[in-house]
Amino acid sequence: MLNLSKENIEGEVAYFSGKHNASFERTYGWAWLLKLAEELHTWDDDTARVLEENLQPLTNLIVEKYTVYLPKLNYPTRVGTHGNTAFGMSFAYDYAVAVNDEAFKKAIETRAKYFFLNDENCPMSWEPGGSDFLSPCLEEAALMKRLLPVETYKTWLNDFLPQLKSRSFSLETGKVSDRNDGHLVHLDGLNFSRAWSLNKIVEGLPEYAHLKPVAIQHLNHSLPSIFGDSYEGGHWLGSFAIYALNSF
């Protein structure tokens, strides 16, 4: 609880509000802050209410920053690392839904459709990059699953990643050659994020149920590596693993 004390959060707000800190942690850190806020909001516990209240000033500031930033972003960032636009928008959208913030939801929906609605044939064969921990194609597909009506999404997905519909679809897991290398170990994170993205795509779409074993394959490949891992992966992979596990 100490890390989320009222005094500590006031310090964070002051730092984020600094003249030269407008883009600090944009948007990866913003996304995880909103995921924390969402978890506290949905946790039915007295302690959670205290922590949520403590965190609220920083949460409000990040929502404000996101809302101001999105209309300025002319092009999405389609990478497999921290700057991925679709990843950040997914976590932000989850928060907006959880707290029923219609204005924030609308801001995300509007910009996501502007960025991604007309995309076709995402080049999954180009993935992964050597230090990716996100799949640009799957993160985008998971974001649009959140936003679009079911039938609209099915049409969009068939244009965007037509290969996913094949029951013989397979996807090789990311292979880590050195878990003491802070960039190469990112590929364990890729396996976890692919798992949660595939599970989001499958939700409510039985014709894509064959993707579930692919998600399990990715989770199982990297899950053992988080035990006794070096700092390079150990300080962050746990959060990815838990989020992936909770997606099943």
Q: Is the pLDDT assigned to residue 1 strictly greater than 90?
A: no
- 121 and 102 belong to one structural domain: no
Cα separation of 35 and 31, whole Å?
6
Which residue range(s) make up the domain with 38?
Answer: 1-106
- Please report the pLDDT score of residue 69 as a whole number: 98
In a domain, 111, yes or no: no
- The predicted-structure confidence for 120-141, as pLDDT tens digits, reads as follows 999 999 999 999 999 999 999 9
Q: 127 and 234, same structural domain? A: yes
Q: Are residues 121 and 101 in the same domain?
A: no
Confidence of residue 227 (pLDDT cuts 50, 70, 90): confident
- The amino acid present at 63, given as its one-letter code, is V
Number of domains present in the structure of the chain: 2
The encoded tokens of residue 71 equal 């209309």
Same domain, 5 and 58: yes
**Would you state the torsion angle of the CA atoms of residues 91, 92, 93, 96, taken in this order, to the nearest 10 degrees?**
130
Q: Count Cβ atoms within 10 A of the Cβ of residue 32 and give its class: 0-12 exposed, 13-18 middle, 19 or more buried.
A: middle
The residue type of 210 is: H
* Whether 218 contacts 192, CB under 8 Å: yes
**Residue 229: predicted pLDDT:** 67
